């Protein structure tokens, strides 16, 4: 910011960082806004890359950090050719530059439209953002319906901020969200994938999930999951997903990492199972049934949220390793243990076991197996000895059973 100022430009911190600093929280990143246009920004900084088509802006690299530097957006009236709307009113391109007074109206929520001026260390507020911030309210700037139509992703942002900040949505904002939720389906799937990562990997996944469902937004992001959830109201599907989201939030709270593929595997697992079972009912063998089901579910899902190939590959691995946990004799367990995806698949097995989808004994066995030394592991995987003596053995068994008077199933 000082560098921009030195070159004669103005520079402000804006958006999430000001909002979060006012709450005494550490901002996730810093967004800078200036009156320099992208080409001018490029000239000021050596380590600068211009990115984006819909919103052209500069990424300034400082070591491993990237600061996003945007140019003030302008009012579009006199430069219509630089702003493109589609027939639903969605902004496809928006590269009209202007002044801070114009820029403020282009921002989504009032609390995201506070500008911190390094010149005099003041916060510039044109839209009563400070009052809303104090009242912990998320209010869209301008007419909520128009603003949601312009960019339906703002509905996801509303949920994300409400959950993360503990703010409530302004009633007007809430009302139009119910009305235009479906418009979210017009957003390119790659952008929805990016947004879903932000929604579910920031430490508030469970609450976010509940709130997205409440506003009818979840079904746009995960249609096959929503179908499963609505069919089985109090069954296991909901539990597995809820547990996965809860675990993921706990991990983040403990400073551990979470992976996108694990969450997506959890989101889609029930859909895969339902389809696979239906196929097996029609006589398809288990392995093929699961593989076909996974293919179907993934190709449906990528219509809503594009999934990178490394993610779908890892999801498939986690799923396809699940039946392998049942093989506990011979060399199979030790081979499974060295599989690069073992850890994730085992965590997934635990989730299933905790929520009634897998035998808890199997999960316990694997916990013990991992702790055991080589000798113990060998013992654990020895097949039970088969009765070899034919008639005499059978007779002995029969006698023993008769003597102790136990039932078949107890033996
Ligand atoms: P965080 O970075 O904590 O997720 P943020 O508010 O900084 O939250 P960014 O996506 O970094 O969110 O965007 C920075 C600022 O740009 C926002 O605060 C907002 O003012 C503006 N902005 C971002 N996306 C939109 C959008 N879809 N519509 C309108 N304004 C937006
Ligand atoms: Mg930000």
- CATH number where 66 lies: 3.30.460.10
Task: Say whether pLDDT at 180 is over 90.
Answer: yes
Total Cβ atoms within 10 A of residue 385: 6
Residues 82 and 224 both lie in one domain? no
Task: Spell out where 90-138 has E strands.
Answer: 91-94, 114-117, 122-125, 137-138
Residues 289 and 392 both lie in one domain? yes
Residues 114 and 231 both lie in one domain? no
Pocket test for ligand 1, best of 108, 111, 202 (most atoms within 8 A of CB): 108
Please choose, from the candidates 325, 404, 409, 323, the residue with its C-alpha nearest in 3D space to the C-alpha of residue 369.
Answer: 325
Confidence (pLDDT) at 7 = 95
387-395: long-range contacts (C-beta < 8 A, 24 or more apart)?
none
Q: Which of 110, 134, 158 is the endpoint of a domain?
A: 134
Domain assignment of residue 363, yes or no: yes
Q: Which of 134, 164, 189 is the endpoint of a domain?
A: 134
Task: Say whether pLDDT at 405 is over 50.
Answer: no
Could you identify the residue written with the tokens 């080589």? Answer: 374
Q: Pairing relation of β-strands 31-34 and 122-125?
A: unpaired
What ranges in 71-150 are assigned the alpha helix state H? 100-103, 129-134, 144-150
Residues 251 and 365 both lie in one domain? yes
Confidence (pLDDT) at 276 = 93
Task: Say whether pLDDT at 252 is over 90.
Answer: yes
Residues 238 and 95 both lie in one domain? no
Residues 129 and 227 both lie in one domain? no
Domain assignment of residue 152, yes or no: no
pTM over 0.75: yes
> Mind listing the pLDDT tens digit for each residue in 259-310?
999 999 999 999 999 999 999 999 999 989 999 999 999 999 999 999 999 9
Q: CA-based angle 197:198:203, to the nearest 5?
A: 100
- Residue of minimum CA distance from atom 15 in ligand 1: 15
Domain assignment of residue 196, yes or no: no
- Residue of minimum CA distance from atom 16 in ligand 1: 15
Could you identify the residue written with the tokens 């005099």? Answer: 120
Residues 270 and 364 both lie in one domain? yes
Q: What's the 30 CA to ligand 2 centre distance in angstroms?
A: 6
Q: Is 28 in the pocket of ligand 1 (CB under 6 A)?
A: yes
- Residue of minimum CA distance from atom 3 in ligand 1: 16
Domain assignment of residue 198, yes or no: no
What is the CATH number for 275?
A: 1.10.3090.10
Task: Say whether pLDDT at 138 is over 90.
Answer: yes
- Residue of minimum CA distance from atom 30 in ligand 1: 107
Residues 93 and 228 both lie in one domain? no
Percent of the chain residues topping a pLDDT of 90 = 77
Confidence (pLDDT) at 56 = 87
Q: Which of 98, 115, 134 is the endpoint of a domain?
A: 134
- Residue of minimum CA distance from atom 26 in ligand 1: 108
Q: Is 244 in contact with 263 (CB distance < 8 Å)?
A: yes
> Mind listing the pLDDT tens digit for each residue in 67-101?
999 999 987 655 555 566 777 777 666 668 889 99
Pocket test for ligand 1, best of 71, 91, 112 (most atoms within 8 A of CB): 112
Q: What's the 111 CA to ligand 1 centre distance in angstroms?
A: 10
Mean per-residue pLDDT for 142-162? 97
Domain assignment of residue 335, yes or no: yes
Task: Say whether pLDDT at 345 is over 60.
Answer: yes
Residues 276 and 410 both lie in one domain? yes
Q: Which residues pair with 68 in a beta bridge?
A: 31, 59
Domain assignment of residue 55, yes or no: yes
**Ion ligand 2, residues whose Cβ is below 5 A away:** 16, 29, 31
Confidence (pLDDT) at 401 = 44
Domain total of the chain: 2
Confidence (pLDDT) at 55 = 78
Confidence (pLDDT) at 239 = 86
Mean per-residue pLDDT for 197-202? 96
Residues 331 and 228 both lie in one domain? yes
Q: Is 73 left (phi over 0), alpha (psi -120 to 50) or beta?
A: beta
> Which sequence positions are flagged as catalytic?
29, 31, 108
Domain assignment of residue 298, yes or no: yes
Domain assignment of residue 304, yes or no: yes
Q: Which domain holds residue 358?
A: 219-411
Confidence (pLDDT) at 75 = 74
The ligand minimizing its distance to the Cα of 70 is 1
Q: What's the 262 CA to ligand 2 centre distance in angstroms?
A: 25
> Mind listing the pLDDT tens digit for each residue in 231-249?
765 555 568 999 999 999 9
């Amino acid at each position: 910011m000082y560098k921009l100022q030195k070159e004669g430009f103005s520079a402000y911190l804006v958006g999430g960082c000001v909002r979060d600093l006012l709450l005494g929280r550490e901002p996730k990143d810093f967004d800078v806004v200036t009156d320099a246009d992208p080409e001018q920004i490029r000239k000021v900084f050596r380590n600068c890359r211009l990115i984006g088509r819909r919103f052209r802006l500069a990424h300034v690299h400082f070591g491993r950090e990237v600061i996003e530097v945007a140019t003030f957006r302008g009012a579009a009236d006199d430069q219509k050719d630089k702003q493109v709307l589609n027939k639903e009113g969605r902004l496809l391109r928006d590269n009209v530059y202007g002044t801070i007074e114009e820029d403020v109206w282009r921002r989504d929520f009032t609390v995201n439209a506070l500008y911190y001026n390094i010149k005099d260390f003041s916060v510039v507020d044109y839209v009563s953002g400070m009052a809303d911030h104090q009242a912990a309210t998320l209010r869209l700037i301008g007419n909520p319906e128009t603003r949601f139509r312009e960019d339906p992703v703002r509905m996801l942002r509303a949920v994300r901020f409400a959950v993360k900040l503990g703010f409530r949505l302004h009633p007007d904002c809430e009302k139009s969200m119910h009305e235009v939720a479906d418009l979210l389906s017009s957003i390119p799937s790659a952008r929805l994938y990016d947004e879903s990562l932000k929604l579910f990997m920031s430490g508030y996944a469970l609450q976010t999930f509940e709130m997205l469902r409440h506003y009818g937004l979840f079904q746009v992001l995960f249609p096959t999951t929503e179908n499963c959830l609505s069919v089985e109201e109090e069954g296991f599907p909901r539990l597995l997903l809820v547990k996965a989201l809860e675990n993921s939030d706990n991990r983040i709270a403990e400073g551990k990492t979470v992976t996108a593929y694990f969450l997506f595997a959890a989101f889609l697992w029930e859909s895969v199972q339902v389809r696979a079972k239906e196929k097996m009912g029609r006589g398809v063998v288990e392995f093929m049934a699961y593989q076909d089901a996974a293919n179907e579910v993934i190709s449906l899902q990528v219509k809503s949220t594009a999934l990178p190939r490394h993610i779908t590959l890892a999801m498939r691995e986690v799923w396809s390793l699940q039946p392998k946990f049942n093989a506990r004799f011979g060399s199979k367990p030790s081979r499974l243990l060295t599989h690069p995806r073992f850890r994730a698949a085992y965590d997934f097995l635990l989730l299933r076991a905790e929520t009634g989808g897998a035998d808890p004994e199997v999960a316990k066995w694997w916990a013990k197996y991992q702790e055991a030394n080589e000798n113990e592991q060998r013992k654990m995987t020895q097949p039970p000895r088969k009765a070899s003596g034919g008639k005499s053995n059978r007779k002995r068994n029969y006698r023993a059973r008769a003597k102790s008077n136990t039932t078949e199933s107890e033996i």
